[in-house]
Chain A
Amino acid sequence: MSLALKARKVGLRLLEAIPTVIGILVVCFLLTRALPGDPAAYFAGPMADAESIEQVRRNLGLDQPLPVQFVNYVTDLLTGNLGMAISTGQPVVAELATRLPASLELTLGALLLSFLIAVPLGVMAATRPNTWVDHLCRFLVTAGVSLPTFFTGLALMYIFYYLLGWAPAPMGRIDMMYLPPETVTGFYTIDTLIAGDWETFRAAIAQMALPLITLALFTLAPIARMTRAAMLQTLGSEFVRTARAAGLNGRRVLVTYAFRNALLPVVTTLGMVFSFLLGANVLVEKVFAWPGIGSFAVEALVVSDYAAVQGFVLSMALLFVLLNLLIDVIYTLIDPRVGEES
């Protein structure tokens, strides 16, 4: 397939994301309106009387019919205004801007770590069935799916912080002794490297290690399992037999013929795993007092802070769309057959 055709396919896939985004806006808006509790009463505070609550309601535009509110909401969105978070008194946009990188750093880091461990593990398990590697793979997969993240988080904390004292106090993104690096990407690990501050970099990594391992253990399971299954399938396929019969060496058969084909379903799995991760993130952030978007959302929900919840749901949904888009684009690029069947 020519490059131009691929580019067109990718472009079309990008366009397809637009209706999804519109749908998200509608659902996100309606969902927060369906939350129990009266936001106007919260905004006005516990001392307010009926009249001032009414005043707040008018100020917030909550007395208007839903369609009008929706139009206002979308107009605000277009100007980058997501409203004020009651719980912190900050604009929601500002909250998200500082907290989203913290969550993303954790999530992407965990995804990368588990990918780096799970894929070789799955490949080794598939090429050496019923050996210790295969059993180890099976053990990790079972452990990964059966242990809840808050438990692994607490257990790791107990062992490595409380008993052994290897890990720093599980309080936020960086030890109090250090100053956060100057914000470039919002990822402390990257920002410290840009600043060339090795010591802070090490501190940030140390702080991140336990939550990262917790999340990675959780995502290891589906990736390793999928890799193993996909590898077993491609290794048993007829084209691998052809490659062997042609005398290609083991490495070439394994990598170019079996693994590249096995990677296709694994890439699809990655998208799914990422969405599990975002869900698991909320709990892990709570356990490790990580100042991410997940813990922010939980707090906002508890106090019925609709602007904050709306902002959270919207940003998460957009992240999902973006990620699925990315996976699809990668898939289109690595599999020449995509879209040819129709």
Chain B
Amino acid sequence: MTIPLLDVQHLSVDFATRNGTVRAIDDISLVVGKGETLGIVGESGSGKSVTSYAVMRILDRAGRIAGGRITYGGMALHKARERDMRDIRGREISMVFQNPRAALNPIRRIGQQVADVLVQHSQATRGNAREKAVEMLRAVKIRDPEQRYDAYPFELSGGMCQRVVIAIALACRPRLLIADEPTTGLDVTTQKAVMDLIVDLTREYDMSTILITHDLGLAAAYCDRLVVMEKGRIVEANGSAELFHGAREAYTRQLLQATPRIDSEVRDLLPAALRATAMPLPETHDVGEPLLTVKGLKKQFGKPGADNGHLAVQDLSFTIREGESLGLVGESGCGKSTTSAMVMRLLDTTGGAIEFLGEDIAAIPAAKFAAHPLRGKLQMVFQDPTDSLNPRWSAAQSIGDPLQRLASHMNRQQREARILELAALVGLPVNLLDRFPHQLSGGQKARVGIARAIALDPRLLILDEPTAALDVSVQAIVLNLLEDLKHRLGMSYLFISHDLNVVRLLCDRIMVMQNGAIVEEGNARQLLAAPATDYTRTLLAAIPHPPQAAAND
């Protein structure tokens, strides 16, 4: 092998915290060759982002490189001066970040932000910076780049913002691109577009790439080699196909298992030990009478009748029966969240009926529904387990809140007993009940959110991307918990997500939504196996396809 482009040997990074020094990265070594794509995979806290910050030398003040060597093209980055690093960043090594909207200066025109980098690295003069920046915007496939040059980040979609971030990163034709969770939070179709763009451009410019992600499937689909990290250490490193099909380490296998695939069942995601103790799922289960019937649901934003009024949901009709789970899938902006907010009676409808337990709840104003007797029967689990909990309430207070407000017949003892019962149901250890959200892990917070939602024995639970913010191994456990609860408590689910693979695990039926209307609906398995519309096919095709068995390569 020739001299690698980036050579990291025995790197350790320490962080100074209030409770002493914490080793975030412990003795890791990795190499990236010219034109190679390396994937670094790990769950939150594995140190995968810190590795990249160390390479770029942009660790925050508390972090420092405690040992090891970072060599880039013969230069020792670990002891380079800040001034020299500045010439390397953006010019030689660039980064693309997670959360593209926050990664751009909110009050500076996007074109200027691209031009800033060009001017900084003497790739353009003040005179031709605009022209060159427009050219770069065109290269990342932004439509009408001349007009878009003057746009601000808030005027663009998340996917478009990520293209701008990529334009900034690639403007000076660096030789190494580090992409840190570049598609987290984006739709599958946008994810595919962004990833394909990165692949195309890095190939065109003959660059090497490090892709940092928590998604093994994504990494395997786009990378030549993978490195799996856990708690600051490298667990396993191998070629993508080899690793995907013949993982040697238990942790890698567990991670692989927890990643939903096109053919996995919900129980398959669990580690073997948990799977053995899980309650058996019924082969078939009966669905009963219609529980929720939505007819001709409409929502218009803006003034009624006005020209600029935007019809977010147009003439939507569907039914959820007792014990049934319905998946609602679509890209962001398709109206799925608006639909769930209307069914949940958080948002007033423009037209149509929502019949729940025999009553048309669409007629009840959203502001009054909070005190309605049916409120307790219709509950929701929110997307972000952290933001949806009151930071000043303990877990017990959060779970007990709906009981206190809506179960007025309960006295204090009964409520406390019920909280314990709920904690047991969702598998939350009793000693965690006194803790506050910041003292709980993501999975524990998700459990609190679920316990709160089922406190009043709801008939219908709306799940709005309940696992989107969780690591895959935690997602596996939460999905299984939801499946157990459905059978144990006989609830119906309306599961909203952009991830078809996840929706399929929990749902009997799936509706695919686009531009406020349903384009396709049907039995979950059949719909995925034989999609009838192009749109569904596009969604399915956008899911990253990991390499087939090594023999195929």
- Which chain B residues have a beta carbon within 8 Å of chain A's beta carbons? 56, 58, 60-61, 86-91, 94-95, 97, 99, 102-108, 116-117, 120-121, 152, 154-155, 165, 168-169, 171-172
Partner of A245, one of B58, B102, B116, B154: B58
Give min CB distance, B168 to chain A, whole Å. 5
Other than the given A129-B61, A238-B103, A261-B106, 5 more pairs (CB < 8 A) read A237-B102, A241-B103, A246-B171, A249-B86, A256-B116
Q: For residue B154, which residues in chain A have a CB less than 8 angstroms away from its CB?
A: 336-337, 340
Specify which of B60, B104, B155 is in contact with A242 (CB 8 Å cutoff): B104
- 8 A-B pairs with CB atoms under 8 Å apart are A236-B60, A244-B89, A245-B97, A246-B116, A249-B120, A257-B108, A334-B107, A335-B107
**A130 to chain B: closest residue by CB:** B61
234-286 of chain A: CB within 8 A of chain B: 236-239, 241-250, 252, 256-257, 260-261, 264
> With a CB–CB cut-off of 8 A, which chain A residues contact B108?
256-257, 260
In the complex, chain A residues whose CB is within 8 Å of the CB of B106: 239, 261, 337
Q: Please determine whether A247 and B90 come into contact, CB atoms closer than 8 angstroms.
A: yes
A335 to B154, CA, bound (A): 11
Contacts A260-B107, A335-B107, A336-B107: A247 and B117 contacting too (C-beta < 8 A)? yes
Question: How many pairs of A and B residues are in contact by the CB < 8 Å rule?
Answer: 87
> Smallest CB-CB separation from A234: which chain B residue?
B105
Complex interface: chain A residues within 8 A of B90 (CB)? 245-248
Contact A337 B86 (CB under 8 A): no
- Specify which chain B residues have a CB less than 8 angstroms from the CB of A245 in the assembled complex: 56, 58, 89-90, 94-95, 97, 169
Structural contact, A247 and B121, CB atoms closer than 8 A = yes
**Structural contact, A247 and B91, CB atoms closer than 8 A:** yes
Which residues of A are found within 8 Å of B121, using beta-carbon distances?
A: 247
Chain B residue, CB-CB nearest to A341: B154
- Inter-subunit contact A242/B97 (CB<8 Å): yes
9 closest A-B pairs by CB? A247-B90, A247-B89, A246-B90, A245-B95, A238-B102, A242-B103, A239-B105, A336-B152, A246-B117
Q: A252–B90 Cα gap in the complex (Å)?
A: 14
Q: How far is the CA of A250 from the CA of B87 in the complex (A)?
A: 12
- Which chain A residues (306-342) contact chain B, with CB distance < 8 Å? 334-337, 340
Q: A239-B104, A257-B105 are in contact. Are A247 and B88 (CB under 8 A)?
A: yes
B residues less than 8 Å from A257 (CB atoms): 105, 108
In chain A, residues 19-43, which have Cβ atoms closer than 8 Å to a Cβ of chain B?
none
Contact with B along A221-242 (1 / 0, CB 8 A): 0000000000000001111011
When the two chains form the complex, which single residue of A239, A244, A340 contacts B58, counting CB atoms closer than 8 Å?
A244
The reply to whether A238 and B89 form a contact with Cβ atoms under 8 Å apart is: no
- The docked-state distance in angstroms from the alpha carbon of A257 to that of B104 is 9
Separation of A124 and B284 alpha carbons in the complex (Å):
67
Please encode chain A, from 124 to 165, with 1 for each CB lying within 8 Å of some chain B CB and 0 for all others: 000001000000000000000000000000000000000000
